């Protein structure tokens, strides 16, 4: 199964350290390219999703209002995970490319 860019998955992010987002079934947004995901056979880059909404915090991007999952993507908590080594399931929801591009652009503000 190929995981798509923009797909929301639920994944066990444990173990974590410090202020990293944890959770046995944490929803996450896949931001890595679909072709990369297929080629890497289970390695994907994700951003965790929290149910917290803080519009004044620019690194917490609210999900689109029509999304099945409620909350915000935490752009500063980007991580690479191996789906072959962690429990995960798909939600079968893929968010619009234009919205995912905006999220990745915000990540760019952190790393540029």
Residue 85: both structure tokens together: 């080594």
Q: How many helices (H) and strands (E) does the chain have?
A: 2, 7
Q: Is residue 105 within 8 Å of residue 73, measured between CB atoms?
A: no
Q: Is the pLDDT of residue 19 over 80?
A: no
Global pTM reads 0.92
Residue 82: both structure tokens together: 């191996």
pLDDT value for 91:
96
- pLDDT tens-digit readout, 71-110: 999 999 999 999 999 999 999 999 999 999 999 999 998 8
The Cα–Cα gap between 99 and 66 comes to 12
**pLDDT > 70: what percent of the chain?**
96
Q: Which residues contact 57 (CB under 8 A, 6 or more apart)?
A: none
Q: Which CATH class is domain 7-111?
A: mainly beta
For the chain, what are the domain ranges?
Answer: 7-111
């Amino acid at each position: 199964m190929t995981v798509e860019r923009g797909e929301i998955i639920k994944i066990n992010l444990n173990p974590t350290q410090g202020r990293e987002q944890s959770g046995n079934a944490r929803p996450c947004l896949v931001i890595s390219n679909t072709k990369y995901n297929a080629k890497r056979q289970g390695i994907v880059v994700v951003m965790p999703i929290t149910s917290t909404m803080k519009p004044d915090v620019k690194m917490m991007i609210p999900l689109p209002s029509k999304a099945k999952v409620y909350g915000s993507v935490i752009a500063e908590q980007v991580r690479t995970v191996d789906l072959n080594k962690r429990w995960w399931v798909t939600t079968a929801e893929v968010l619009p490319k234009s919205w995912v591009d905006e999220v990745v652009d915000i990540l760019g503000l952190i790393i540029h």
